[in-house]
Chain A
């Protein structure tokens, strides 16, 4: 089986989705990953550039690139120089961490004590670290 057929088969076997994650990119076969690496690194790729890389005809390469578009890996744009392909990166999913996880930190920063300390010229955290500095200075020096 030729390289192009193998790559097309690999693309077919992958689930169609909205964009590719970089983690998925690591999981691709080396030739397909090389192609995706290149389009990610340089931002875009023409059919001619991809064909040269894969050592394939422009017609076969265009078929494969269009298949990657269909599967959500690439985006395609018509320009004066022809079709240009760009990586279609998937949106980073959020976590299921509780929404108020950082609330205590925000409250601490915005507390009246913190504001009072602020008005004296130093944020509370920095104040604490200055204190640590003083403790260190009081320690005897190592011989």
Chain B
């Protein structure tokens, strides 16, 4: 049975796209067919992690939302790009549905809006027509229509937060929204945790605050920053503590519905 996974955070800069790309790639490496859709229409970016740039993107999610093409025409098989295709043997296909990085396209969608029903239909069409095991939705931070929709239809929602007061308060709002929208499986991911923290204690405290399980704590890493989103970190450095944490997130995903 296909699963829709949303990866979200209340605030920007939490590592959503990076974690989305890594979770999707790890799922694919375990033999799943995975789609990744960038619904961050205002500030798209996940395509960079899959080695794509503006020139390589012909049709995007924006074209679909404007009725210029079918959703299938916006799909790019990025399996060969993941891990630079050097040392990684992918177990299955991974497909990317990017949002447009063209300034005019971003401006138009913000200025004129779009048919949200079409986005909803697009999610379902992708799952069925690509025969996906998982559709990973990379969202825009905060709460807007596309974010609320992705939360409303998700089987699994990961909320990312940093150990920071602003993130803590905003996450409380998002947890409340997720509960109102009855997300069946809600997990928290703590990212960029200082290595000096006691991770077990941090996990316990966060779980108590939000009454939700913490799937993983990713340590703050200069190694991740140094990569500058040029590749999928957990595939390039599988033994790194960040990669181990990503695999724990994937364990949670695979455990859902079993």
Contact of A88 among B103, B117, B149 (CB under 8 A): B117
Binding stretch for chain B, among A3-11, A54-62, A64-72, A102-110: A102-110
Across-interface contacts of A124 in B (CB, < 8 A): none
Contact yes or no, A25 B152, CB < 8 A = yes
- CB pair A37 B116 closer than 8 Å: no
B153 in contact (CB, < 8 A): yes
Mark interface residues in A90-128 (1 if CB within 8 Å of B CB, else 0). Answer: 111111010111110110010000000000000100000
Q: Which of A21, A22, A23, A95 contacts B111 (CB 8 A)?
A: A95
Partner of B148, one of A22, A34, A100, A101: A22
> By the criterion CB–CB under 8 Å, are A22 and B145 in contact?
yes
- Contact among A21, A88, A99, A101 with B145 in the assembled complex (CB-CB below 8 Å): A21
Q: Is the CB of B116 within 8 A of A101?
A: no
| Interface pair A129/B113, CB less than 8 Å apart | no
Contact A101 B117 (CB under 8 A): no
Q: How far is the CA of A87 from the CA of B117 in the complex (A)?
A: 8
Contact of B103 among A41, A87, A90, A109 (CB under 8 A): A109
Render B120-157 as a binary contact track against A, CB cut-off 8 A, 1 for contact.
Answer: 10001000000000000000000101101100110000
- Residue among A21, A95, A109, A123 with most chain B CB within 10 A: A95
Interface size on B, as a range, is 20 to 34
The answer for the CA separation of A88 and B120 in the assembled complex, in Å, is: 10
Instruction: Tell yes or no: A46 within 8 A of B by CB.
Output: no
What chain A residues lie within 8 Å of B208 (beta carbons)?
A: none
- A89 within 8 A of partner (CB): yes
Confirm or deny: A49 has a beta carbon within 8 angstroms of a beta carbon on chain B: no
CB-CB < 8 A to A103: which residues of B?
A: 103
Q: Is the CB of A91 within 8 A of B113?
A: yes
How many chain A residues touch the partner (CB < 8 A)? 34
- Taking CB atoms, residues of chain B closer than 8 Å to A82 are none
B13 within 8 A of A: no
Write the chain B residue with the least CB distance to A99.
Answer: B111
Cβ-closest chain B residue relative to A102? B103
Contact A94 B113 (CB under 8 A): yes
Q: Is B106 an interface residue (CB 8 A)?
A: yes
Q: How far is the CA of A19 from the CA of B183 in the complex (A)?
A: 22
Question: B-facing mask of A13-44, CB < 8 A → 1, else 0?
Answer: 00000010111011000000110010011010
Nearest first, the 8 closest Cβ-Cβ pairs linking A and B are: A22-B148, A102-B103, A106-B103, A94-B113, A92-B113, A89-B116, A89-B117, A94-B112
A-B contact pairs, 11 of them (CB 8 A): A25-B148, A25-B152, A37-B152, A89-B115, A89-B149, A92-B146, A94-B111, A101-B107, A102-B104, A102-B106, A106-B102
Interface of B toward A, CB cutoff 8 Å: 53, 102-104, 106-107, 110-117, 120, 124, 143, 145-146, 148-149, 152-153, 177, 180-182, 226, 228
